[in-house]
Structure 1
């Protein structure tokens, strides 16, 4: 058996997505999952730098606002782009 170093398009897999970016997404998503009065099962979280994009659907405008407020409480979040639709 020959050992071959893992790469992703010539770079180490760890270098593809900055750990801080993935960590920020995870922290925001975990926060949304625990907020009372918010069903975030159809909400997705994507980060680009310190900007968080919230998208998906919720049942009421209050839930969309609650999701944005909760995301703002996470350390490292500088801006929120809220594209959550109410269905």
Structure 2
């Protein structure tokens, strides 16, 4: 079998320092979804480097604080930007 150097069409792949944003976003979203004390159905998780941005809405300020704590506990998360609102 002959292995050829990989080629691509269009823009070259982006280089990320640290964890890949999609992996980190998924890890935080998974942690929020399995937490029993946070309704994560209206929370959007985005990643900028190792900074996680939580946006959307939750039921209370305490739930927002818990969501931030859960996101911060995920390995590789550097900081959490809380943009959550509550009713």
Q: Could you say which TM-score interval applies, normalised by the shorter chain?
A: 0.7 to 0.9
Aligned pair count reads 79
Identify unmatched segments of 5+ residues in structure 1.
none
State the TM-score, normalized to the length of structure 2.
0.81
Q: How far does residue 16 in structure 1 lie from its aligned partner after superposition?
A: 4.7
C-alpha RMSD of the superposition:
1.8
State the TM-score, normalized to the length of structure 1.
0.81
Q: Which residue of 2 aligns with 1:53?
A: 53
Moved over 6 A (4+): none
Residue pairs, 1:1-87, within 5 angstroms: 7=9, 10-11=10-11, 15-16=13-14, 18=16, 20-87=20-87
Identify unmatched segments of 5+ residues in structure 2.
1-6
